[in-house]
Amino acid sequence: MQDAYWVFLILALTLAAFVWGRFRYDLVAMAALLACVLLGVVPADEAFSGFGHPAIITVAAVLVLSRGFEHSGVVDWIAEKTLKAGSQPIWQLAVLTTTVILLSAVMNNVGALALLLPVAVRVAREHGTSPSLLLMPLAFGSLLGGLITLIGTPPNIIISAFRASQGESAFRMFDFAPVGGGVALAGLAFMVLLGWRLTPRRQGQASADELFETSAYLSELTVGEESKAAGWTLRQLREVCDEPVPVLGVVRDGEQLAGSRFFGTLQAGDIVLLEADPDDLKQLEDKAGLTIGAHDRDADGTDSTEAPKLDTEDLQLVEAVVRTDSMMTRRTVAQLRLLDQHGLHLVAVSRDGTRLKQRLREVRFQPGDVLLLQGDENGLSESLAALGCLPLASRKLSLGRPRQLLLSVAIFAVAIGAMMFDLLPAAIALALAALVTLALGVLPLREGYDAIEGPVIVLLAAMLPVGTALETSGGAQMVADGMMALGSGWPPVVTLVALFAITLLLSNVINNAAAALLMAPIAASLASGLGVSLDPFLMAVAVSASCAFLTPIGHQSNTLVMGPGGYHFRDYWKLGLPLSLVVMVTAIPLILLIWPLS
């Protein structure tokens, strides 16, 4: 049993590191795997067996196919219809949440949310609805949709593969649908009919100007006849300050030009519009000879100060949210070289619905931060994609080419058919579909590789052997024995409820795939000890591992909406706790009905 204690120690440290969040979860998982190898818990020749596991191949293929749906225009066609949700908030909520549930059933749920998030913000702004009313249910809906099919969420794929490792056949594509579909329907009904009343109303989030109050933060400086800045480029002007300030526009002869489109040199009489704190303004006065305020010459030849009306809509400003997998996380503007490498000016940062007041060069970005950026419209999409940011409310729908759209749907349908009729295993069918998608040009090869999320793959591949070690070392049996001893005399259904609750709580603090990997061996030991069927216990783990509604860190979808919705950490449990209870009350009877204990 010594190996079991080593596994418990490693898992305790791993869970603590997951909750702490200081290190990326893929690095933590790899450290846990290597620790198991060094302690002899995992054989060295099996350390990296997880990278060839069918579950890993299936997850990677699903990510490629999801990106193919986006590129071919399938999802954009759906989003176009969703934009017609109407002016009533409840109807908007119903349409958007239903759409994300259906999309999440057949594609990566984070990808589905990322595609509909800009649509939801745009709908909210066009109809004067607070985005906070829509975004949390949208995120939760993406989790509920993943319950319906094998490929909807990684825990389902993991549980299916684990069942196969226990000598049973793997779960098929729609084996999850009776329970997952019922839970998703119940969750949807609860959020639309009652749950929306529990979401916070964050006023002032309906537009970029209201969130960041752009015009209130702009300063105007005039280039005088004697200014040193006369003849300078904007780059030279920005470098005068300790922190390069974003020059958002230049007014010349009454015409306002966006800073990203001004390539000439400054002239006397130009008015420079920029965001700067008092220290920067002082340096611009001293080193560049600019004067604060806009100066016009009166008829008598004297100067008068008069601020022209600012047109902030022509400054090419865009909002974007930092994704959980963004390269910007924990890095600063200087480290990212936003201007030099990506051509972007950082104008402001909002976190938890509040604009940060600290100097921009000192901000270390976090997932969920909402950024106000200025850049060249032509290269903006590529720059944001490279940085791992999602533009908000300005999503331009591209319906693609009809041939690609039909090909994408046909390829996926054939793969699903092969899985349903047991012609091919899920990993083979989906990998083949991904290969055909790339080979026929539905998705460019480079985008196919970009779609495969390295951190998720490493996390799963590293934790698979660790989960196996929990079982082979006897650790899972020890936990199961402890639970049965604690509930001595309880009927099996009570143990099933306890397993569901523990897994649900665990999934709110660590990655849902990791929760499924750790709890599956314990579920198998419980079923064996109680002498009942394995299937209801595995289904309980599959559902509960994917229902992380209590915290913004439980799932990437929750983190992604935190900034745009202006949510606080405590806001999630207000809707998440009753929704979790609805899920449990719905799931347990359905599991016992579809997958009986005996």
DSSP 546-580: T---S-TTSSHHHHHHHHHHT--TTHHHHHHHHHH
How many whole angstroms separate alpha carbon 136 and alpha carbon 29?
Answer: 29
How many whole angstroms separate alpha carbon 178 and alpha carbon 305?
Answer: 71
How many whole angstroms separate alpha carbon 410 and alpha carbon 74?
Answer: 12
The structure tokens listed for 592 are 């016992």
Contacts 24+ apart (CB under 8 A), 555-559: 555/139, 555/143, 555/507, 555/512, 556/110, 556/323, 556/324, 556/325, 556/367, 557/109, 557/110, 557/113, 557/139, 557/140, 557/142, 557/143, 558/139, 558/140, 559/324, 559/367, 559/368
**Residue (of 315, 355, 349) closest to 332 by Cα position:** 349
How many whole angstroms separate alpha carbon 510 and alpha carbon 9?
Answer: 17
Residues 6+ apart with CB under 8 A from 17: 23, 28, 31
- Residues of the chain within CATH 3.30.70.1450 domain(s) are 209-312, 316-391
Residue labelled with tokens 């959020």: 191
Question: What's the confidence (pLDDT) of residue 315?
Answer: 57
Positive or negative, the CA dihedral 565, 566, 570, 574 is negative
**Residue (of 274, 177, 278) closest to 221 by Cα position:** 274
Question: What's the confidence (pLDDT) of residue 301?
Answer: 41
The CATH class that applies to domain 209-312 reads alpha beta
- Annotate 495-560 with DSSP letters as a single string: HHHHHHHHHHHHHTTS-HHHHHHHHHHHHHHHHHHHT--SHHHHHHHHHHHT---S-TTSSHHHHH
Alpha carbon distances (Å) from 70 to 65, 75, 114, 215, 382? 9, 5, 11, 36, 15
Q: Which residues of the chain have pLDDT under 70?
A: 1, 73-76, 78-79, 83, 85, 202-218, 242-244, 260, 276-279, 293-316, 353, 376-379, 393-403, 487
How many whole angstroms separate alpha carbon 522 and alpha carbon 379?
Answer: 50
> Apex CA 330: angle with CA 324 and CA 336, to 5°?
100
Residue labelled with tokens 């579809």: 594
pLDDT tens digits along 375-405 = 766 667 778 888 888 887 654 545 455 667 7
How many whole angstroms separate alpha carbon 342 and alpha carbon 443?
Answer: 24
How many whole angstroms separate alpha carbon 596 and alpha carbon 230?
Answer: 81
Question: What's the confidence (pLDDT) of residue 302?
Answer: 43
Q: For residue 295, what are the β-bridge partners?
A: 305
The structure tokens listed for 91 are 């109807």
pTM of the model: 0.77
φ, ψ (nearest 5 deg) of residue 276: -155, 145
Average pLDDT along the chain: 83
The identity of residue 345, as a single letter, is H
Positive or negative, the CA dihedral 212, 217, 220, 221 is negative
CATH classification of 316-391, choosing from 3.20.20.10, 3.40.190.10, 3.30.70.1450, 3.40.50.300? 3.30.70.1450
Where residue 327 falls (left for φ over 0; alpha for ψ -120 to 50; beta otherwise) is alpha
